[in-house]
């Protein structure tokens, strides 16, 4: 277990963990710009992972994964340079890529939740874990966070509080 913010490179022979030194002011703004949403959807992550492994045999999925890897480097750079708006937009690109990895990652309810969030100020979001349910983490400008939270709660979703722990 590695504390703080880390950029992890997964390689066939080893995994590399690079601690990120993000300016404290950027971390405060990032924390204020993120909203954790419980979709209330239960899911079987093992089944999703198995399907993703099968899909990785397809050339078009391998290309999507490579695009996603490149995007993670850009997102890392956005965080390090304090470009949070660009980071939020990159989350949207990452979601669009990820949902193409496997038909089991998203569903009509998750797609509707994501679109609702986008209409109410989310620049982008990420499903946490394998997909198909669980939690979304949305990025929004801090002045739109209340609007986003209210819209999601009115749709019957639960907003969960969280704080970064750098230990």
Whole-number percent of the chain with pLDDT over 70: 87
Q: In DSSP terms, which residues pair with 15 in a beta bridge?
A: 10
First to last CA, the chain: 11
DSSP conformation class of 134? S
**Per-residue model confidence as pLDDT tens digits over 117-154:** 999 999 999 988 645 557 899 999 999 999 999 999 99
pLDDT on residue 106: 81
27-57: b (≥16 Cβ within 10 Å) or e: beebeebbbebebeeebeeeebeebbeebee
Phi and psi at 112, nearest 5°, equal: -65, -40
pTM: 0.87
For the chain, what's the residue count?
A: 167
């Amino acid at each position: 277990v590695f504390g703080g913010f880390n950029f992890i490179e997964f390689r066939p022979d080893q995994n590399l963990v690079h601690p990120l030194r993000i300016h404290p002011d950027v971390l405060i703004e990032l924390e204020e710009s993120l909203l954790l949403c419980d979709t209330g959807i239960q899911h079987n992550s093992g089944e999703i992972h198995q399907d993703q492994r099968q899909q990785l045999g397809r050339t078009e999925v391998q290309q999507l994964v490579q695009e996603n890897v490149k995007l993670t480097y850009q997102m890392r750079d956005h965080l390090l340079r304090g470009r949070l708006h660009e980071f939020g937009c990159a989350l949207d690109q990452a979601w669009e890529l990820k949902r193409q990895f496997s038909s089991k990652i998203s569903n009509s309810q998750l797609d509707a939740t994501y679109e609702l969030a986008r209409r109410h100020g989310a620049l982008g979001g990420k499903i946490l874990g394998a997909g198909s349910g669980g939690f979304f983490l949305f990025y929004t400008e801090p002045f739109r966070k209340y609007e986003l939270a209210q819209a999601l709660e009115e749709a019957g979703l639960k907003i969960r509080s969280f704080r970064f722990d750098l230990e």
